[in-house]
Structure 1
Amino acid sequence: MKKARNTKTRRSFLRSTLLGAASVPVLTNGSYAAEPASVTSTLRQRSVAAKHRNLFNGDTCVFFYNPELWQPEDYSLKVVRNSRTGKMNTQPTAEGGPFSAKAIHRYVEVLATNGIDTFVINANASRAWYPSKRIPSILDGYQRGDRDFFRGHAICQGITEPEAVEEFLDSFTTFMNRYQDLLDAGVDWLAETAKACRQRGVSPWVSIRMNDLHGSNNFEGSFFNLPLLKQKEMRLSQSAYGPHNPSYREGLNYEKPEVRALMLEQIREVVEDYDFEGLELDWWRQPLCCEPNASAETVAMMSDWIREIKVLTERQAKKTGRPYPLGMRIPGRLNTLQSIGLDVVTLCREGTLDFICPSGFWCTTWDMPHDTLRQQLGDRVAIYGVLEDGVNSLATFDPTHNRSQAMRYSSASREILHANAAGKLALGADGIEWFNFYCTDQGRYPGLRSDYASLQKVYDREYLRGKPKHYSLGIGGKSFNLLPFELPAQLPVQLAPISHHAFRVAMGAEPSDRTLELVVQVVVKADEPVTHLPVSFNGSWPQIRYERTDRLLFPCGALTHHTQEHVGYNVRFPVEAVQEGWNEIVVENGGKEPVTLVALELAIRHQAQ
């Protein structure tokens, strides 16, 4: 295979009044017993997941990344001459404009057409990205064409070379001018989002990032940052350790009354002044709250503060006559969250939180223990399975364009999405939340597009049964993992000679009458000798027959092969071996040399494949 030029995966521009809280019924799998509940509270439990099964989370830029898709009559992709250098650009850019509310309405229309019942729109990074009347907004003080307004943010994107900074400003100024287009037209894009949802029968929720650090490499100079974040005394000082980038752990310190007051004002505005009916507190951007090893008093103080937010949402629900669920997007390591001041267990069990969305930072999870989370959190809270756009950090190859990519994007593969959803639902997830789905389109890579049709009915376990699926597992040791909050990755693993290792993955059981089979692909380093690689699935006798291949189990858009550094070994099993819930794969090294297991992939596919 020809060695490819490497294209790094990236995001181009960044990203007692509490009684009766709404929550959902438990989808039991036999692993726990439901706790008692009154008839009234049980009915209210069911209302959240009954109406909100298919949640789509969009960041502040979701409409603005690809105007050529959502406003094609005014934008097109072209390679044009750069007015600054006089030379032709090397890559096509979205040319045209002005940006208008049409793009917002078209995007929401696509979501509604493809079965999204709830649009969770993110309103802020550090500053508000909408024209806030209460806290600093992202374009406060900007005049169209003022490149220097954004200059201090280049280093936050890792850009320092003078010409590279100017190229960044070429693109970024154009991008931010799309927001300015709406401001000039008197359009508040956040309000317009809620309006578009109402017109199409989609429930509008809002998400607030609780400690966004996109501007952390230049606290004082990046336009991203709130004035409060620029003050060192308002930031955390003990969250970084070991090899971690200190500035990326130096978020706002919620032990400071000023921080809590500012964020409560931000939340109050989107709850009281906008037409939303649900609130998500996003603690994955970033999972920073109080100094680590928070005292019981600090944890209690944060719980009281979150209860204040619940009072806001309950008051708004009473005002509008509609439920206003309150929840969090969080890592799945609850004890680690409590160490920084967030007592998720108590807040769920007492009914303050109506839903949670446990996830990874950028990569999706394949072994999020929804069953264990249910045992810890009780029956009152809805627990969503989150499908992130990153699959894992297994590099793959596109031979058509001779391009390797450090991460697959799940929204380009219906098989990956169906597998990831099926596993989470099998463990008891009450519905699905999509996160970063649109990032596949953002990079404008040839042969990679977000498959919006795949959003349909993915929350329905029976709908997913019998459909082709591509499961995987998390891989550690890469920048896509944010420690210590990620679930510990099961891979990579080095197998010593005459040794074995067990892995587990959540899967959905499959019908036995559709000519389906299970294929386990063990991915190893291509330069390591493999002589005997027995594989067992759910306690079966080890299978010693395998097929060596350089192809992925399923394409992910144009990505069809492993890179030349890796090779796969396919082992086949009857599909009846797949259990609903947890499944175990044991890999043996029967050779005389160590073997590095880089990845583990599983396919449910038709036998002819």
Structure 2
Amino acid sequence: MPSGPNDQYKIVINWDEGAMYSFCPMQAASERDDVDAEAIKGMLEEIVDEHAKAGVDVLAHGVFSGFFSMMPYPRLHEPADGGRHIPASSEEHHQWCQKYGKFWLTGFKKLRDAGLDLVEIVLARCHHNDMQFVVAFRMNDRHAGSGQETTYYPRIEQWKTDHPEWLLEEHPGGVDYKYEGVRNAVLEFVAEAIERYDLDGIELDWMRWCHMFKSSEAAENAPLLTDFIGKVRKMLDDAAAERGRDRLPLGVRIAQSLDECANLGYDIATWIKDGLVDYICPTDFYFTDPNTPIDDFVNLTEGTACKIYPGIHPSIAWQSDQTLMGLPEYAAAAQNFYAYGAHGVSPYNFMYHWGKVRSPSYPGPVEMWPNAFKLLTALKSADEIAASDRHYLFHPCWTGHRDSHCPTGAYRHNIIVLDRSTDDPRGTFTFRIAEDLTDDSLSATLEFKITYMIAADQLEIAINGDVVPDDALERQWYVGQSPQEGRPLAAHFLYRIPLGSPPAKFGDNVITMRLTNRVGMTQRRLMAQEFEVFVRKS
């Protein structure tokens, strides 16, 4: 494995306002009458301590989504638009959270009544453990309005009356950053966070929920977001100067390809070139994609101090509700990311690993709290990754979601469709593996599944143009795939192919399939999917 920028990689974990607590045993404990504010404070500190034990370098803690904030009430400044903050008090906050069923720490009210600040508690404990604490903002969160909630967030609901043009009709629950009033309203919260806390930086999470403008206006409005980021940069620079610090970092969580970023109005090249941002987290909305073209982002940072921390997520694919990433899957993704220049990884929604603490509907078992943090420790070391089995998952992450489109609007199907009605049914799929398979200590296998295939169907399969001999193909029939095993699938054949070099190579590989006979109904379409590569060290 190439050494990349260093042999010790960073972990930059991101938490929304409540998931760091509401999925932990302390959520239930905080509701008991015999648990007071000091006990809740101690529980919060224990959670931060578990991060420190795992070697987490940066904890990015959400304080803002939909103009809800985890910062204490009242707000330090009245809204510049002449309206009012909603919610405007802890009592209102509590009422709205109960209405939404929103994730948050029930004991937050007890802390407030005792004059304690949850964010300050976490910040202080991070500094006690020599961890950096970054305040995170969800830039256009749409949990309220996206179909998960029945109404918009309350301040946005008020804007339906006061400023209806500020709302994004095609992205319900979102607001349009084209309007200065919207941008200024968010900047007021950024300014308050900087004023309140001795923070180590700000992270702007543009991936919640991706769209800041009407889709037809996003690219032309990119300078508005660049100007917005420039204002945040100046706030941080001014604060650093006042506090005698060299620089307070600004991070951004953005879409996993430059094409998506451009179409959303994110001018990543300018943000980096002009020194506005200090780290970037390219990521899918919800899943870990080892095919993420990290090198495109790394190339933009050449000659700058900007770091790249790709997002990693526990979930595997849409409708794969009961399966999660493990160490072999994370190690494979990290192998790809680090080999192409990433400086670490950024876990997101990591609480799913112990989700059953909150509800039986979540996949992660209770005993994974806090044991799942060991997965992150392993990802800090190039040596540990090299010694691990690596399991590359190239699944159709968004199949079944809006015609295979992810929330950014990008089409992510990851399926080869062999249409029997065409003259020459064939297709290709590209997968990236940062593996030197000329190394005799490594063995590798490629697997994939083909649905709607019958025993008489025959394929010609080539990898990087080299046809795989028939005697190297292993094919096994399965009646289907249950939700406990992954995405529900119909009856299918599982193919296994020993993978060596050649034909496989370090980097991007192309598998080509051609249906060489067409038996039965011409309407039938074969679908090759769930490509996986297993790499084991002998």
TM-score, normalization: structure 2?
0.80
Match of 2:379 in 1: 458
Match of 2:247 in 1: 323
Is the contact between residue 331 and residue 385 of structure 2 (CA under 8 Å) also seen in structure 1? yes
Which of 479, 486, 490 lines up with 2:401 in the alignment? Answer: 479
Cα 1:289–1:300 shift into 2, 3 Å: same
| Counterpart AA for 1:434 | P
SS at match of 1:440: helix
Match of 2:462 in 1: 536
Match of 1:390 in 2: 315
1:522-601 matched pairs, under 5 angstroms: 522-525=448-451, 528-529=454-455, 531-544=457-470, 545-548=473-476, 559-560=484-485, 563=488, 565-567=490-492, 568-574=494-500, 579-592=505-518, 594-601=525-532
| Counterpart AA for 1:468 | D
| Counterpart AA for 2:295 | D
Q: Does 1:375 align with 2:299?
A: yes
SS at match of 2:20: coil
Deviation by residue 1:249-275 (Cα, 9 ceiling, x = unmatched)? x51122222211111111112223212
Is the contact between residue 11 and residue 380 of structure 2 (CA under 8 Å) also seen in structure 1? yes
Structure 2, unaligned stretches of length 5 or more?
A: 78-84, 520-524
User: What displacement does 1:330 show?
Assistant: 0.7
Tell me how large the CA RMSD over aligned residues is: 3.9
Match of 1:255 in 2: 178
Match of 1:207 in 2: 136
SS at match of 2:266: coil
Match of 1:102 in 2: 42
For 2:234 and 2:355, how far apart are their aligned partners in 1? 38
1:168-183 matched pairs, under 5 angstroms: 172=101, 177-183=106-112
| Counterpart AA for 2:450 | V
User: Percent same amino acid among aligned pairs?
Assistant: 18
SS at match of 2:22: coil
Cα 1:589–1:104 shift into 2, 3 Å: farther
Match of 1:121 in 2: 61
Deviation by residue 1:378-424 (Cα, 9 ceiling, x = unmatched)? 442322221122212364xxxxxxxxx3x6322xx111111111112
For 2:53 and 2:479, how far apart are their aligned partners in 1? 34
For 1:281 and 1:50, how far apart are their aligned partners in 2? 27
For 1:278 and 1:144, how far apart are their aligned partners in 2? 26
Which of 426, 435, 444 lines up with 2:348 in the alignment? Answer: 435
For 1:95 and 1:588, how far apart are their aligned partners in 2? 66
Match of 2:81 in 1: none
Which of 324, 333, 340 lines up with 1:409 in the alignment? Answer: 324
For 2:346 and 2:464, how far apart are their aligned partners in 1? 29
Cα 1:388–1:224 shift into 2, 3 Å: farther
| Counterpart AA for 2:339 | A
Match of 1:290 in 2: 213
| Counterpart AA for 1:140 | S
| Counterpart AA for 1:125 | S
Cα 1:511–1:108 shift into 2, 3 Å: farther
Match of 1:264 in 2: 187
Is the contact between residue 44 and residue 121 of structure 2 (CA under 8 Å) also seen in structure 1? yes
For 1:237 and 1:254, how far apart are their aligned partners in 2? 9
For 1:562 and 1:382, how far apart are their aligned partners in 2? 34
User: What displacement does 1:128 show?
Assistant: 0.8
Cα 1:63–1:368 shift into 2, 3 Å: closer
Match of 1:519 in 2: 445
| Counterpart AA for 1:456 | T
For 2:193 and 2:8, how far apart are their aligned partners in 1? 22
Match of 2:203 in 1: 280
| Counterpart AA for 2:250 | L
User: What displacement does 1:566 show?
Assistant: 4.7
Cα 1:144–1:194 shift into 2, 3 Å: closer
Is the contact between residue 416 and residue 429 of structure 2 (CA under 8 Å) also seen in structure 1? no
User: What displacement does 1:584 show?
Assistant: 2.7
Q: Does 1:344 align with 2:285?
A: no
Is the contact between residue 258 and residue 296 of structure 2 (CA under 8 Å) also seen in structure 1? no
SS at match of 1:520: strand
Which of 338, 360, 365 lines up with 2:284 in the alignment? Answer: 360
Q: Does 1:419 align with 2:344?
A: no
SS at match of 1:211: coil
Cα 1:370–1:528 shift into 2, 3 Å: same
Is the contact between residue 137 and residue 204 of structure 2 (CA under 8 Å) also seen in structure 1? yes
Is the contact between residue 361 and residue 486 of structure 1 (CA under 8 Å) also seen in structure 2? no
Cα 1:603–1:75 shift into 2, 3 Å: farther
For 1:385 and 1:585, how far apart are their aligned partners in 2? 25
Q: After superposing the two structures, state which structure 1 stretch, 458-467 or 214-223, moved more.
A: 214-223
| Counterpart AA for 1:569 | Y
User: What displacement does 1:197 show?
Assistant: 0.6
For 1:262 and 1:418, how far apart are their aligned partners in 2? 41
For 1:50 and 1:465, how far apart are their aligned partners in 2? 11
For 1:576 and 1:137, how far apart are their aligned partners in 2? 62
Match of 2:522 in 1: none
Cα 1:446–1:429 shift into 2, 3 Å: closer
Match of 2:23 in 1: 66
Match of 2:431 in 1: 505
For 1:236 and 1:533, how far apart are their aligned partners in 2? 54
Structure 1, unaligned stretches of length 5 or more?
A: 1-26, 30-45, 77-93, 154-171, 241-245, 396-404
The number of residue pairs the alignment matches comes to 502
User: What displacement does 1:302 show?
Assistant: 3.2
| Counterpart AA for 1:177 | T
SS at match of 2:518: coil
For 1:118 and 1:493, how far apart are their aligned partners in 2? 39
For 1:66 and 1:95, how far apart are their aligned partners in 2? 20
For 2:274 and 2:314, how far apart are their aligned partners in 1? 32
| Counterpart AA for 1:233 | H
1:22-101 matched pairs, under 5 angstroms: 53-68=10-25, 74=29, 97=35, 100-101=40-41
For 2:3 and 2:535, how far apart are their aligned partners in 1? 24
Cα 1:435–1:379 shift into 2, 3 Å: farther
Is the contact between residue 71 and residue 102 of structure 1 (CA under 8 Å) also seen in structure 2? no
Cα 1:296–1:137 shift into 2, 3 Å: closer
SS at match of 1:263: helix
For 1:140 and 1:540, how far apart are their aligned partners in 2? 66
For 1:564 and 1:347, how far apart are their aligned partners in 2? 43
Match of 2:80 in 1: none
Q: Does 1:184 align with 2:113?
A: yes
SS at match of 2:308: strand
Deviation by residue 1:320-359 (Cα, 9 ceiling, x = unmatched)? 4253111210113435544554322212112112221111
User: What displacement does 1:119 show?
Assistant: 0.9
Is the contact between residue 238 and residue 292 of structure 1 (CA under 8 Å) also seen in structure 2? no
